[in-house]
Structure 1
């Protein structure tokens, strides 16, 4: 990857439901991200009901070398604001084929099981993705919102390259998963990685004379070498601000302050 920083593309398609309100602006954000050296563009079959993947293809094909295009399947969208896990193997295969078509690629760089479906054996869900990888339709397999036991159960079926869980300076629910990924050298991809408000992050930002967002992201980058944040934004200005995180240097005392919250 060009950078450890990525871009979560959900916000580019009308909060995940339908096509973008301003298509030209959304295309600009994606192209600006690549120009700034972003290492991963993260989407899903359910973002915009497929419109998000189509937007990425429109903006970025031919895809620049070094930029990972990651997508997901395993969540259905029966209505606005509704997300329902759906992990039947035939559905995952169908959605993977549709993602290939919409992204206009022969193989997806990184394909996640978006959520584990409790009504389907995990081995069947992960096995469906392993079969797609064996066929050359996906390169790497990831999981989203899983604990350590689920991750290890999936790894008993096939290799897992990435875990995407909600994680930030003010939400440490998945600390154990991040520590496990660090030990096993598995990419950990925090979604919603910027706190809405965090006093410790704000204090450090004031000390450094920068905005809180890059401080929160810099803390994540310092947390472990396997961390690859994917902050989402529809604003080129916020995107540029987020991408400065790799140049923010936090002292041990500042990291400890954010750690304590």
Structure 2
């Protein structure tokens, strides 16, 4: 069974915004959790088809998700002619059985090899967007000395891949403010950093993205991805708003992100149809000024470190 191009008359969840060369729904889908369905690929394919039915036209993936399983599912679910913006990320490799879900793969030759692996796995000749996942900022894992690569060397590889027509646009993941400033001459389409109502440590970076018309695509949009990190859904202000609006706390957390900045694009991930539909419906939630003020008053916490 193959998915079909989203019906152009279907409202795009959360409205639309620019992502590189394309205009996409502000609520997309993060495919990482499809790896949980490794024993049930039919359910995974059904989930992807439903995402398109809901108007989602932006899917985020990586070859290291499920050691290639997720990209394999995407290739099976999507037709090459479908008008879907696929974004992948490079800079890491799977580490099956290791202490972390991935290991660094930061060297320029590894980045180039990973793009070619993604192209083969996805059945594409050109990937619309590729995010360079830096490993020295944000939620980090231990970084061996031979994986400490200068950003300029990595960007040289990324721009060469773009010039060769293998990738459409360049994004950065887990980048700091100085790094983004250095990267701007390369032409950056989006930034993927950990960011949520309870983890707004990158507000200055978000402002720079807005000034440069760069999409902001947060991961961990509800916080709490690892033990000890604050969860958006635990916040009393979020729970009060959810009760008042007949929504779930998770929907309120996603809706706040959409209200916070119009460059915000969301890629919430899930392995269930119910959560997929609830996440998508968050784009219809309207937060009044008093509710926004209450949510804005929630304190931000340090992101911390993995491990």
RMSD between aligned alpha carbons? Answer: 1.5
More helix per residue: 1
Q: 2:70 aligns with which of 52, 67, 70?
A: 52
Q: Which residue of 1 aligns with 2:38?
A: 20
Contact 1:4-1:39 within 8 A present in 2 as well: no
C-alpha displacement of 1:63:
5.0
Q: 2:173 aligns with which of 144, 147, 156?
A: 144
Structure 2 residue matching 1:57: 3-state secondary structure: helix
Contact 2:74-2:122 within 8 A present in 1 as well: yes
Q: Which residue of 1 aligns with 2:26?
A: 4
Structure 1 residue matching 2:152: 3-state secondary structure: helix
CA distance 1:22–1:63, shift in 2 (3 Å): farther
What is the 5 A alignment of 1:109-120?
109-116=128-135, 119-120=148-149
Query: Is 1:240 aligned to residue 269 of structure 2?
Result: no
Structure 2 gap segments, 5+ residues each: 1-22, 137-146, 223-231, 299-307
Query: Is 1:164 aligned to residue 192 of structure 2?
Result: yes
CA distance 1:112–1:188, shift in 2 (3 Å): same
C-alpha displacement of 1:2:
4.2
What is the 5 A alignment of 1:123-142?
123-142=152-171
Q: 2:79 aligns with which of 38, 61, 75?
A: 61
Structure 2 residue matching 1:105: 3-state secondary structure: coil
Aligned length: 255
Counterpart CA distance in 1 for 2:283 and 2:210 is: 19
Query: Is 1:74 aligned to residue 91 of structure 2?
Result: yes
What is the 5 A alignment of 1:167-246?
167-194=195-222, 195-246=232-283
C-alpha displacement of 1:196:
4.4
TM-score normalised to structure 1 length: 0.93
Structure 1 residue matching 2:160: 3-state secondary structure: helix
TM-score normalised to structure 2 length: 0.79
Q: Which residue of 1 aligns with 2:107?
A: 88
CA distance 1:236–1:76, shift in 2 (3 Å): same
Contact 1:85-1:116 within 8 A present in 2 as well: yes
C-alpha displacement of 1:199:
1.8
Contact 1:181-1:188 within 8 A present in 2 as well: yes
Could you list the structure 1 runs, at least 4 aligned residues long, displaced by more than 3 angstroms after superposition. none
Structure 1 residue matching 2:25: 3-state secondary structure: coil
Counterpart CA distance in 1 for 2:104 and 2:41 is: 29
Counterpart CA distance in 2 for 1:29 and 1:105 is: 21
Counterpart CA distance in 2 for 1:33 and 1:82 is: 26
Deviates more, 1:77-86 or 1:247-256: 77-86
Contact 2:233-2:250 within 8 A present in 1 as well: no
Counterpart CA distance in 1 for 2:267 and 2:200 is: 16
C-alpha displacement of 1:227:
0.3
Structure 2 residue matching 1:13: 3-state secondary structure: helix
Counterpart CA distance in 1 for 2:108 and 2:120 is: 19
C-alpha displacement of 1:115:
2.0
Q: Which residue of 1 aligns with 2:120?
A: 101
Structure 2 residue matching 1:172: 3-state secondary structure: coil
Contact 1:2-1:37 within 8 A present in 2 as well: no
Structure 2 residue matching 1:161: 3-state secondary structure: strand
